[in-house]
Structure 1
């Protein structure tokens, strides 16, 4: 069965988009929201996604350890 790319919670998409913008700004990719993503390198787009995943994992680890 193919995996859906949609978040389980429909409201989660807004939070993911916000996280993506925060990470892009931290990485120096200004005006990321209004930019055509095809003009960015795959390394830049991958860097944003990779940092998002790291943050989400860190948040879950902190949640489980009670920090």
Structure 2
């Protein structure tokens, strides 16, 4: 199975980058966006991605519970 690294909605790319930076900072990974990702362990990179997904799911669940879905 191949993976696409393209953002589905290009307008959301900057918001995703901000979310990635915020999540990395919460996990104690300083200067995550400006670092070479090859120098960061795969476990740390995976942690950032996993926490991003949790935040996105939580945000969507909150949207569903407030009844403001599109």
TM over 0.5: yes
Q: TM-score, normalised by structure 1?
A: 0.89
Query: Which residue of structure 2 lines up, in the alignment, with residue 47 of structure 1?
Result: 47
User: In the alignment, is residue 25 of structure 1 matched against residue 25 of structure 2?
Assistant: yes
Query: Which residue of structure 2 lines up, in the alignment, with residue 36 of structure 1?
Result: 36
After superposition, the CA RMSD in angstroms is: 1.6
Query: Which residue of structure 1 lines up, in the alignment, with residue 65 of structure 2?
Result: 65
Q: In structure 2, do the counterparts of structure 1 residues 3 and 46 end up closer, same or farther at CA, with 3 Å as the change threshold?
A: closer
Q: TM-score, normalised by structure 2?
A: 0.85
Q: In structure 2, do the counterparts of structure 1 residues 3 and 35 end up closer, same or farther at CA, with 3 Å as the change threshold?
A: closer
User: Structure 1 residue runs of 4+, over 6 Å off?
Assistant: none
Displacement, 1:9? 1.6
Query: Which residue of structure 2 lines up, in the alignment, with residue 14 of structure 1?
Result: 14
Displacement, 1:4? 3.7
